[in-house]
Amino acid sequence: MCVRQAVKLLLFIATTLLVSQQARSEEGGFSGQWEQIGPNASIGEKCRMGIIRQGRFMRISTSNGWSATAETSSYGNASYAAGMGRWSSYVEKYSQKAFYILLAVRGDRLMVIMKTEKADGSNQMIRALFSRRTANSTHDKPNGSGLNRPPVLCASHSRRNVPV
């Protein structure tokens, strides 16, 4: 992905988040626990993501078998990050595949876009929208509906093929 396309994509993400959300404080930024809310995430089947930020850099790990590192920056009220990641060996379709990752956060919403290469050499874009996890998230409910149950549907299952 050329630098110009990456910058345009990041500005688009930041603008989308700015327009679609009310102005909120950036107390937590990227750091913390996130839960997938779209696309295609249904109740009880949400991917979880944990982000630990250290200065400009952050470490991202998920419940569906990928992890990444990214460098952060900001534009207006939105913060964004770009980096690289890799799928775990137990994710059959993507086993050990590397990918580029772009993230943009504003308030309690996090947009994630991943670019990976398919077996035929073409590019595949994976998009997911996350919300900051709260104490009353589906997976934390005391009725057992989500208690200690691993999430099923994550960004890796929400594929959209987009030529790049």
Q: Please, what is the end-to-end C-alpha distance for the chain in angstroms?
A: 8
pLDDT value, residue 143: 44
Work out the burial of residue 122: count CB atoms within 10 Å of its CB; fewer than 13 is exposed, 13-18 middle, 19 or more buried: exposed
pLDDT value, residue 58: 95
Domain positions in the chain are 3-160
11-61 tens-digit pLDDT:
777 766 655 443 333 345 899 999 999 875 544 457 899 999 998 999 999
162 versus 60: the higher-pLDDT residue is 60
Structural contact between residues 29 and 113, judged by C-beta atoms closer than 8 angstroms: no
pLDDT value, residue 44: 45
49-83 tens-digit pLDDT:
999 999 899 999 998 889 999 999 887 777 899 99
pLDDT value, residue 159: 40
CA dihedral of residues 5, 6, 9, 15 (deg, nearest 10): -120
pLDDT value, residue 28: 59
Structural contact between residues 80 and 102, judged by C-beta atoms closer than 8 angstroms: yes
Cis bond upstream, residue 163 (ω within 30): no
* Helix and strand element counts for the chain (H, E): 1, 9
Q: What would you report as the CA-atom Rg of the chain, rounded to the nearest whole angstrom?
A: 15
What token pair was written down for 71? Answer: 């460098």
CATH value of 3-160 in 1.10.10, 2.30.30, 2.40.128, 2.60.40 = 2.40.128
96-140 tens-digit pLDDT:
889 999 999 988 999 999 999 888 889 999 899 999 987 665 544
What token pair was written down for 133? Answer: 């996890």
